[in-house]
Amino acid sequence: MSAPLPTPPEPPPVRDDEAWERLYLERTWAPKKGLIGWLSEVHHTEIGKRYIITAFVFFLLGGIEALLMRWQLSGPEKQVMGPDLYNQVFTMHGSTMMFLFAVPMMEGVGLYLVPLMIGTRNAAFPRLNAFGYWTYLIGGLLLYGGFLLNVGPDAGWFSYVPLAGPQYSPGKRVDIWAQMITFTELAGLAGAVNLIVTVFKHRAPGMSLNRMPLFVWAMLVKSFMVVFAMPAVMVASTSLAMDRLIGTHFFNAAEGGDALLWQHLFWFFGHPEVYIIFIPALGMLSSILAVFTRRQVFGYLPVVLSMVSIGFIGFGLWVHHMFATGLPQLGQSFFTAASLMVALPSGVQIFCWLATLWGGRLWLKLPLYWVLAFFAVFVTGGLTGVMLGTYSVDQQVHDTHFVVAHFHYVLIGGAVFPLFGGLYYWFPKITGRMLGERLGKWNFWTFFLGFNLTFFPLHFLGMMGMPRRVYTYGVERGWQPLNLLATVGAVIMAVSITLLLVNIFWSLKRGEVAGNDPWGADTLEWGTTSPPPSYNFLHLPTVRGRYARWTAAEDQPVVTGVRSDRKEVLVTRLLDAAPDHRAELPGPTLWPLWVALATGVMFIMVIFTPWGIVVGGVLLFITLTGWFWPRPPYKEELAPEQPS
């Protein structure tokens, strides 16, 4: 609090005066200034933006790695890279795209949008948000720092033992991978808990669970999946690190350990991971569909139930990644059936969306382009998924480029296409300006063309027997024409992403000014300014239907009585979102950064010495004490008994 405030009239519990209200909110929620202010930021829009931008930078890096691989594979016996560097590059590509791009990107979008969509002023745990971001950033920097120093991991994005174990991967490469996993998963878990509690406890009055936007449902399901999936990979990566650093034998068959245990733990996380990436995209898609067909999404209930059931089924089919490890016959049948079962809710959803399109009046703007392309690409990937989920087919094409084609169709088709649609859709909200339409169409068509040109040929290469992860191949194989085609496609995709970048930077400066609601959209984030102010809403909104802004009454009430001279928010009840109490959220602080750095010291130091646990533990205790130490008290909120 710097400059003195004009003395207000004695704080009335209900402030009707909008100018006063705005003045107070701006003063109360203003971020701190300068570098310290930047480092101590805890507001969800700012943290969300940082997640999105950082994840996008990693997406570009992962894309460059992909281009390098396609260059190497564009012809037989090419010498762009040797096998050692190639191993590092494909490991970096997979790890980057999964752990540093896809999951954090979806989480960032969720953290940015969910509090706005449910009509509150910040996430439930603002400092945890900041901590999550810093931890993620440290993990990403560790991975790329290692890569630059030629200790980039090289055992593949799932680091199978025994290859990744101490015997076959000496040195520090896999340790860096394992610790990067621990960092990013910690960040993922922090974000997930934050989203769950924000959704459960901070929804605008009236937004009962059955009126939540589909996007919020998607983020909720995703967050629950994170909570139950990511501990698996943390247990796995910790065990692997201990095998490598202090001589444990979790995966050492000679001493009673088991290499397959790694695969079980990894895929118990790894398969749900796919849905953790995919389900938020379904949320984006549903938001876009409703707005650009100008109608409610067909079958709200089946769509929500499908998302929830995908969330459950997603945990029951990890073994289909292990079909080639020799399973008992019952296991083969069970996991084949489970894998095929996930096609049922997916199909229900697809048909609900098709029905939405069928019954709506299409407003063909760029966000909808990406969604329509999603249907084509994702369904193709889903069909090969049904093939691969079948034990007998999987035996034939396991570890070939057929699998590479499949998962790029489902992941890029299922997640990146809706994500780019979401980018075109929400960019005006985040920045206040529209993305250019003309350049946007070029971006879309080149990406669509480039994508199919890159990945469709890989199906055939896989069936011709080309394995994944080979750094080159002989002339006599006859794989060159299709590989060259795929490389040409990759270059077109690179051009497309360049166009997108140009569009973004151009639009940030010159784009058409968006206004609050350029699309006539239904969700609450469009009810505030673009970009939203640091307090999100001048008046906290109330809701009386599923499509909050479309169903709002002429004189829809707003919430009053939440203090604007403190960072107070309304806490509502879980099921019906009736007002329950008011709670104060913490403001900007450096402690999350210190705690993240202490965590960083611990996880990075243990790569070199077990003393890292002790040093990091002490640092963590000190910094956490600082984090939890209470701020100066308010007189009227004191407990009845005080220390004398």
Partner 1 sequence: MSPPRRTLDVSHLPTFAFGHRDPLWWGVTGLMAIESTAFVLMLASYFYIRGNYAHFPPTALPFYVKVVAAVITGVMLLSAVPIHYANRAALKGRLRGMRWGLALGSLLGFVVVALRIVEFLWIGFRWDTHAYGSIFWFIVGMHTVHTLSGSLEDLLLLGVLFKGPVEEKHLVDVHTNGRYWFFVVASWLPIYVILYLDPAVLAS
Of residues 562-591, which lie at the interface with partner 1 (CB under 8 A)?
A: 562, 568, 570-571, 573-574, 579-584
**Smallest separation, CB 172 to partner 1 (Å):** 19
Binding mask 120-139 for partner 1 (x = CB under 8 A): ----xx--x-----------
Judged by CB under 8 A, the chain residues 367 through 406 that form the site for partner 1 are: none
Closer CB to partner 1, residue 168 or residue 621? 621
Structure tokens at 634: 């308010």
Q: Contacting partner 1 (CB under 8 A), which of 84, 557, 611, 618?
A: 557
Asked if residues 172 and 604 have their Cβ atoms less than 8 Å apart, the reply is no
CB atoms within 10 A of CB 605: 17
Judged by CB under 8 A, the chain residues 599 through 628 that form the site for partner 1 are: 621, 625, 628
Would residue 465 be called left, alpha or beta, if left means φ above 0 and alpha means ψ between -120 and 50 degrees? left
**Smallest separation, CB 618 to partner 1 (Å):** 11
* Distance, CA of 237 to CA of 235 (rounded, Å): 6
**Smallest separation, CB 315 to partner 1 (Å):** 11
* Distance, CA of 153 to CA of 179 (rounded, Å): 11
Q: Contacting partner 1 (CB under 8 A), which of 155, 189, 397, 514?
A: 189
Closer CB to partner 1, residue 34 or residue 640? 640
Of the ranges 195-203, 357-365, 430-438, 598-606, which one interacts with partner 1 (CB under 8 A)? Answer: 195-203
Dmax (CA) for the chain in angstroms is 88
Q: Contacting partner 1 (CB under 8 A), which of 231, 531, 533, 545?
A: 231
* Distance, CA of 212 to CA of 627 (rounded, Å): 33
Would residue 515 be called left, alpha or beta, if left means φ above 0 and alpha means ψ between -120 and 50 degrees? left
Asked if residues 89 and 65 have their Cβ atoms less than 8 Å apart, the reply is yes
Q: Contacting partner 1 (CB under 8 A), which of 80, 81, 227, 449?
A: 227
Asked if residues 277 and 180 have their Cβ atoms less than 8 Å apart, the reply is no
Q: Does 13 bind partner 1 (CB under 8 A)?
A: yes
> Torsion angle, CA of 22/25/28/33, rounded to 10 degrees?
-70
Closer CB to partner 1, residue 257 or residue 367? 257
Of the ranges 212-220, 232-240, 359-367, 458-466, which one interacts with partner 1 (CB under 8 A)? Answer: 232-240
Judged by CB under 8 A, the chain residues 256 through 275 that form the site for partner 1 are: 256-258, 261, 264-265, 268
Q: Contacting partner 1 (CB under 8 A), which of 556, 586, 590, 612?
A: 556
Structure tokens at 524: 């609450």
* Distance, CA of 388 to CA of 323 (rounded, Å): 10
Of the ranges 38-46, 110-118, 242-250, 346-354, which one interacts with partner 1 (CB under 8 A)? Answer: 242-250
* Distance, CA of 122 to CA of 115 (rounded, Å): 6
Q: Contacting partner 1 (CB under 8 A), which of 20, 71, 160, 228?
A: 228
Of the ranges 201-209, 337-345, 447-455, 498-506, which one interacts with partner 1 (CB under 8 A)? Answer: 201-209
Closer CB to partner 1, residue 26 or residue 258? 258
Q: Contacting partner 1 (CB under 8 A), which of 491, 558, 601, 605?
A: 558
**Smallest separation, CB 360 to partner 1 (Å):** 32
Give how many residues touch partner 1 by CB under 8 A.
Answer: 77
Residues sharing a CB contact under 8 Å with residue 43, sequence separation 6 or more, in sequence order: 29, 31, 122, 126, 534
Q: Contacting partner 1 (CB under 8 A), which of 559, 601, 605, 615?
A: 559
Q: Where do we find the tokens 């700012």?
A: 46
DSSP bridge partners of 584: 568
**Smallest separation, CB 538 to partner 1 (Å):** 10
**Smallest separation, CB 532 to partner 1 (Å):** 19
Q: Contacting partner 1 (CB under 8 A), which of 210, 392, 560, 609?
A: 560
**Smallest separation, CB 326 to partner 1 (Å):** 15
Q: Does 151 bind partner 1 (CB under 8 A)?
A: no
* Distance, CA of 303 to CA of 282 (rounded, Å): 10
Q: Contacting partner 1 (CB under 8 A), which of 232, 297, 338, 458?
A: 232
Q: Does 638 bind partner 1 (CB under 8 A)?
A: yes
Judged by CB under 8 A, the chain residues 43 through 102 that form the site for partner 1 are: none
| Residue 513: DSSP 8-state | B
Residue 614 carries which side chain, given as an amino acid letter? V
**Smallest separation, CB 99 to partner 1 (Å):** 18
Of the ranges 140-148, 230-238, 297-305, 410-418, which one interacts with partner 1 (CB under 8 A)? Answer: 230-238
Cβ contacts of 507-513, under 8 Å, gap ≥ 24: 507/427, 507/431, 507/433, 507/434, 507/435, 507/436, 508/431, 508/433, 510/433, 511/431, 511/433, 511/434, 511/435, 511/436, 512/433, 512/434, 513/432, 513/433, 513/434
103-123 as b/e: b if 16+ CB within 10 A: bbbbbbbbbbbbbbbbbbbbb
Asked if residues 523 and 425 have their Cβ atoms less than 8 Å apart, the reply is no
Q: Does 255 bind partner 1 (CB under 8 A)?
A: yes
**Smallest separation, CB 630 to partner 1 (Å):** 6
Q: Contacting partner 1 (CB under 8 A), which of 6, 326, 328, 643?
A: 643
Asked if residues 550 and 126 have their Cβ atoms less than 8 Å apart, the reply is no
Q: Does 317 bind partner 1 (CB under 8 A)?
A: no
Q: Contacting partner 1 (CB under 8 A), which of 22, 32, 249, 294?
A: 249
Instruction: Using CB atoms within 10 Å of the CB of residue 130, give its burial: 0 to 12 exposed, 13 to 18 middle, 19+ buried.
Output: buried
**Smallest separation, CB 200 to partner 1 (Å):** 6
**Smallest separation, CB 311 to partner 1 (Å):** 14
